Structure 1
Amino acid sequence: MKILIVLFLCLNYSVLAQQITIWGKVVDIETNNGLQDANVVVISERTKGTTTDKNGEFKLIADVKASDKLIISYVGFETKSITISELNNISSTPTSDGGVFYRFYLEKKIIPSQTVLVEATVGKQGITPLAFDRIMQKDIEKNYTIYDIPKYLSDLPSTTFYSESGNGIGYNYLSIRGFDQRRITVSINGIPQNDPEDHNVYWLDFPDLLASTELIQVQRGAGSGVFGYPAIGGSINIITSSFSNKTKLELSASYGSYVTRKYSALFSSGLIDNKYSVYAKLGKILRSGYKDKTWVNFNSYYLSAVRYDENFTTQFNFYGGPISDGLGYTGVAKFAVKDKTLRKANYSYWEADLNGYT
């Protein structure tokens, strides 16, 4: 009889609703920052919900059963859905009043307008059988300053670059596993950037694009047909959706060696009416150059607008770079490499006579 009573009590506990307090914080798994205005809803007989405060925290009191679901959602992030019984598996810390404080981590998702574009070409660690690296926006913000994309990517394994001007800005060339960039597929938001005639890539046509980049995937080695015919050496996939959920205005100025200057202005509208977002950036890069007459005067603009709907997303991207620069096609003769003055010369050619090179 005692055994039957215990079983009855356990079954009764799981079926009848009970009032509980769910106290926690919704966090961006990449930045570990709290997400303001995230939606937290308990789906039960009496559905109840709330939103997070400026720190990403919330407190929700509801009558729930073990089988009821807790759903946490935020624009631009994967929705998290768990049952009440699974709360014990969530990261938590005990509070001074004997309660529990939960931490719910959300992952950024690819917006619907880029589902085919991105998921078809971006590999997943431990799943995609390819050698590749993924560079996220937070990594770019830490170590990107002014250089063009080949210079920035040259720190990756089996990736090298060289610059005609010697300063990493202007005409730069990238190689992966020994294959030059004519055998590397480069795409921006799924749009091929290789020239249709010679398959080359002219990186100076989109200066300062890294400042508006969300994700870069660099694949080493031949890929599948989705990357296109030049992808013998590898592929570079650049995604430039750089929306922010918060309104911000940034002005910046930088100065470096060889009279390098960079000026930029950035504006983000944040999320408007939970439906619209606008991002805009203007930039200018000036540099005298390491070699003689290899100056650059790069202007850049980037404008992106997005509308989120229930079943799809509409996005427009406009970017470009009106530029002018000095050329430095000819390399330096071997005898002049160690001469600190002569190696900066920008001659159209070098000649040899009986007395040596001129």
Structure 2
Amino acid sequence: MKKLMLGMLMIISQQLVMAQATVKGIVSEKETGNRLAFISAEIDNVLQSVSNEHGEFIMKKLKPGKHKLKLSGVGYKTSEFDFEVKEETFVIQFQIEKQVLFLNPVEVTAIRANDRMPFTKTNLNKKEIEKMNTGQDLPFILNQTPSVVINSDAGNGIGYTGIRIRGTDATRINMTLNGIPYNDAESQGLFFVNLPDFASSVNSIQIQRGVGTSSNGAGAFGATLNLSTNEFNEKPYAELNNGFGSFSSWRHTIKAGSGLIGKHFTIDGRVSFINSDGFIERGASDLRSAYLSAAYINKKTSLRLNAFTGKEKTYQAWNGIPEAKLRGDEAKLLEHYNNNYYLYDTKEDSANLFNPNNNRTYNYFRYGNQTDNYRQDHYQLLFNHEINKSWNINTAFFLTRGLGYYEEYKRGESLDDYGLNAVTADIIRQLWLDNYFYGATFSAQYKRNNDQLTFGGAYTRYDGKHYGKIVWSEVAVPKDYKWYNLTAFKTDFNFYTKYQRRLNSRWEAFADVQYRNVNHTINGFRKNPSLQSGGNFNFINPKLGISYANGNGWLGFASFSIGNKEPNRDDFEAGVTQKPKHETLYDFEVNIEQRKAQYNWSVTGYYMHYNNQLVLTGKVNDVGGYTRTNAPKSYRAGVELQAGVKPISWFNANANLTLSKNRILNFTEFVDDYDNGGQQENKFASTPLSFSPSAVAGFTLNFIPVKNGEISLLNKYVSRQYLDNTGNDARSINPFYVTDLRLSYQLRFKKVKEVNFNLQLNNLFNRVYETNGYTFGYIYGGQTITENYYYPMAGTNFMAGINIKI
């Protein structure tokens, strides 16, 4: 028996040794023989590496036998090679051809941070995006990146979704599409629902955390998202992607491209349809989108026209669920009802509130067409030109057209508030947005020897109309009566200059300065049509940094940046006596990391100090509403840890952990006092910033049990989040830990490039958790009453799909 065991161990050990071959690849340009850096290497569609500054990459622990290698890089033709592993260690050389067409996306590289820039960043390539794209909104694709917390009104990631990075909400995250600003000009928010399935047209994403490098559009006050769709496809292709999942969720996507026509032209297109009933009652979404891109390319010039559109109809779930209802606490639910009985003034409303079978799916809205309806069309014309080997220039013109409304049923409205007779009636009204956002961006890049200079900027204008219509009433009103019709205008001009200087083979210095002028004119608000507001702002945003890199995988940087940001539309509604100030952020970042073929790790420390950060305090403004108030001092300080390991060919793991302290100093809370009138003040010396968890972690395990098959476990942990700035646990979101399971398998045929099967089980262990909410409180009957509302996520649910590539 002992001899048998020893024999089996010898056989196993021999197999392990045989399975640990190491390949060192050397990539050079076919025309000149020069070695090439930043060329992506992929073996058997699984193992990945990138060539270093010497054109070398290493793949370890390859199994003996035949393998397929794919090499790709900007400006070079994608090439595939077959090779066979016979020895434990060997060197093999590969040559790839330079693409004679001008493919450098200057409109993106001008605002993105490269590997040597001293900014905290994460890059996602097309393959990584495809793996995560199951039809959910963009935030869910970014969920496993550092410091990210996501949410969904409907509870399943389809419809209205949100994202926070380092605790920073979407109104402070700058987002560009091919270098063109996307944030809503007035609210400064990101409405991903207006870009259904846009990820299917995206070939790369860069996330910059902190102030980041200068970009176009809204000020980056915590993060930047840069998305690029301008991929070059040399060969014709077609894709059919269909999916089905829980809550009657469907996804249908068709993509096709012409490849290179006549050596100069390409056309790419996509149409997508996504439908879901949502986890929340009546949380349905009906989403449509289309994308078309046509390009002309020669040796030194490219001209590209992009046109894409998104149309959404979503039933509303944005009121959330009262805490007592969510927890199934009958006594507190009755107390909530007694305090808010006017909200539930029909028998159906009351019965729905007290129905014990819908505690986690409850939706306050019951009107059949309580829907948000919006369409957004985008047009982009991008021109790139290489003047000579040192100079590249880019200019782009764009138009974004938005039109839509929110329809709602309002009970017992006093029509004198609508400029009509002083009677009370039920009505159906629509709140409309009708806007144009247009402008131009430009950039130029100079590279020579150890110097790189980039300058650029943008001019944009927003022309917006806000109006409301009564489309039905219990009493007679004029047809399609408009009770308000208001305009708003906003211009934004920025100019930036960036300079990189390679001091020696290891050290590189960076300087960046941006000037930005913003002028916002608001001709009234719905609740106060006579209030004229807005402001003119001039900002100077400098950045300085230094980076280090050697040939052994070590990198590091240190940087200091200043960012300034104007208030949004709602902030200006505070009135004449409470006009908001702009916000200022001082951002310090330091990083050290090591990248190896089989492992990588990094540590980033940051300190983000705010002057006049706009926060909710509960203070009532001039028109009786709650708006944000400038807090003199606040900060976010933390460390971001990342690591990845590929110990063997069939397993790899990636993890990230953010530990942070997020505080607001000398904070004053205002609480409505219905007993005595006015508001009561509560003062705090130092409290946690709302929605800023002290710990956020992501952990992914990838198993490759068979060739072309993969099993992935995606884990996410988020610590306690406070709903306001008082640090009160009774007004918070409980910590949660959730695991998703993703299965994928790929088949290849002679006439079909790929057939991909995928299945994703979200919330594998059926955790009960919430990711978002809000709170308010008041004093009544001698006691302080707190009302918490939450947005729960679905229990175990799935999305399955098949993607056919031709």
TM-score, length basis structure 1: 0.68
Aligned residue among 155, 166, 184 for 1:195: 184
Structure 1, residues 151-208: CA drift from partner, whole Å, max 9, x if none? 2112211111111111111111111111101011011111111111121111111110
Structure 1, residues 209-241: CA drift from partner, whole Å, max 9, x if none? 101101100111112433555201110000012
Taking a change above 3 Å as real, the CA distance of residues 128 and 245 of structure 1, as seen in their structure-2 partners, is same
Structure 2 Cα separation of the partners of residues 211 and 102 of structure 1: 34
Match of 1:261 in 2: 250
Match of 2:746 in 1: none
1:270 aligned onto 2:256: no
Match of 2:359 in 1: 342
Q: 1:222-241 maps to which residues of 2 (within 5 A)?
A: 222-241=211-230
Structure 2 Cα separation of the partners of residues 298 and 168 of structure 1: 13
Structure 1 Cα separation of the partners of residues 84 and 282 of structure 2: 62
Aligned residue among 101, 119, 124 for 2:114: 124
Structure 2 Cα separation of the partners of residues 289 and 215 of structure 1: 29
SS in 2 for 1:337: helix
Taking a change above 3 Å as real, the CA distance of residues 165 and 31 of structure 1, as seen in their structure-2 partners, is same
Identity %: 26
Contact 1:307 1:315 in 2 (8 A): yes
Aligned residue among 51, 69, 94 for 1:103: 94
Match of 1:114 in 2: 105
Match of 1:29 in 2: 40
SS in 1 for 2:157: coil
Match of 2:75 in 1: 77
What is the identity, as a one-letter code, of the residue corresponding to 1:29? S
Shift, 1:338, TM fit: 4.4
Aligned residue among 200, 207, 212 for 2:201: 212
SS in 1 for 2:105: helix
SS in 2 for 1:231: coil
Structure 2 Cα separation of the partners of residues 221 and 315 of structure 1: 31
Taking a change above 3 Å as real, the CA distance of residues 328 and 109 of structure 1, as seen in their structure-2 partners, is farther
SS in 2 for 1:220: strand
Match of 1:178 in 2: 167
Contact 1:77 1:106 in 2 (8 A): no
Taking a change above 3 Å as real, the CA distance of residues 111 and 237 of structure 1, as seen in their structure-2 partners, is farther
SS in 2 for 1:138: helix
Contact 1:76 1:111 in 2 (8 A): no
Structure 1, residues 255-284: CA drift from partner, whole Å, max 9, x if none? 001110011111111111221111111110
What is the identity, as a one-letter code, of the residue corresponding to 2:359? L
User: Unpaired runs of 5+ in structure 2?
Assistant: 1-32, 34-38, 46-67, 329-356, 367-774, 788-806
Taking a change above 3 Å as real, the CA distance of residues 242 and 310 of structure 1, as seen in their structure-2 partners, is closer
Match of 1:14 in 2: none
Taking a change above 3 Å as real, the CA distance of residues 224 and 142 of structure 1, as seen in their structure-2 partners, is closer
Match of 1:50 in 2: none
SS in 2 for 1:321: strand
Shift, 1:121, TM fit: 1.6
Structure 1 Cα separation of the partners of residues 150 and 101 of structure 2: 30
SS in 1 for 2:113: coil
Structure 1 Cα separation of the partners of residues 311 and 291 of structure 2: 12
Contact 2:111 2:213 in 1 (8 A): no
Shift, 1:108, TM fit: 9.3
Structure 1, residues 79-133: CA drift from partner, whole Å, max 9, x if none? 89xxxxxxxxxxx9999xxxx9742257999955731x211222222x1111110
Aligned residue among 309, 320, 327 for 2:298: 309
Q: 1:89-168 maps to which residues of 2 (within 5 A)?
A: 102-104=93-95, 112=103, 114-115=105-106, 117-125=107-115, 127-168=116-157
Contact 1:113 1:315 in 2 (8 A): no
Shift, 1:31, TM fit: 4.1
SS in 2 for 1:168: coil
SS in 2 for 1:343: coil
Structure 1 Cα separation of the partners of residues 225 and 198 of structure 2: 14
Contact 2:41 2:69 in 1 (8 A): no
Taking a change above 3 Å as real, the CA distance of residues 282 and 341 of structure 1, as seen in their structure-2 partners, is same
Contact 1:93 1:102 in 2 (8 A): no
Structure 1 Cα separation of the partners of residues 98 and 227 of structure 2: 19
Contact 1:271 1:277 in 2 (8 A): yes
Structure 2 Cα separation of the partners of residues 75 and 283 of structure 1: 29
Structure 1 Cα separation of the partners of residues 261 and 255 of structure 2: 17
Taking a change above 3 Å as real, the CA distance of residues 280 and 30 of structure 1, as seen in their structure-2 partners, is farther
What is the identity, as a one-letter code, of the residue corresponding to 1:177? R
Structure 1 Cα separation of the partners of residues 224 and 776 of structure 2: 39
What is the identity, as a one-letter code, of the residue corresponding to 2:105? Q
Structure 1 Cα separation of the partners of residues 134 and 99 of structure 2: 25
Contact 1:29 1:107 in 2 (8 A): no
Structure 1, residues 12-35: CA drift from partner, whole Å, max 9, x if none? xxxxxxxxxx9xxxxx7344589x
Structure 1 Cα separation of the partners of residues 324 and 185 of structure 2: 38
Contact 2:267 2:294 in 1 (8 A): yes
Aligned residue among 280, 284, 300 for 1:295: 284
Structure 2 Cα separation of the partners of residues 160 and 247 of structure 1: 38
Match of 2:236 in 1: 247
SS in 2 for 1:344: coil
- More deviation, 218-227/167-176: 218-227
Structure 1 Cα separation of the partners of residues 313 and 211 of structure 2: 35
Structure 2 Cα separation of the partners of residues 94 and 335 of structure 1: 63
Shift, 1:242, TM fit: 3.4
Contact 1:183 1:199 in 2 (8 A): yes
Structure 2 Cα separation of the partners of residues 157 and 233 of structure 1: 13
SS in 1 for 2:199: helix
Structure 1 Cα separation of the partners of residues 165 and 132 of structure 2: 21
SS in 2 for 1:241: coil
Structure 1 Cα separation of the partners of residues 323 and 298 of structure 2: 61
Contact 2:152 2:159 in 1 (8 A): yes
CA RMSD of superposed structures (Å): 3.8
Structure 2 Cα separation of the partners of residues 234 and 315 of structure 1: 28
Structure 2 Cα separation of the partners of residues 108 and 157 of structure 1: 35
Structure 1, residues 302-339: CA drift from partner, whole Å, max 9, x if none? 00111111211011111111221111111122233345
Structure 2 Cα separation of the partners of residues 207 and 94 of structure 1: 44
What is the identity, as a one-letter code, of the residue corresponding to 1:317? N
Contact 1:282 1:300 in 2 (8 A): yes
Greater share of helix? 1
Structure 2 Cα separation of the partners of residues 113 and 102 of structure 1: 26
Match of 2:370 in 1: none
Structure 2 Cα separation of the partners of residues 151 and 137 of structure 1: 15
What is the identity, as a one-letter code, of the residue corresponding to 1:270? G
Structure 1 Cα separation of the partners of residues 131 and 232 of structure 2: 18
Structure 2 Cα separation of the partners of residues 327 and 229 of structure 1: 27
Structure 2 Cα separation of the partners of residues 245 and 281 of structure 1: 17
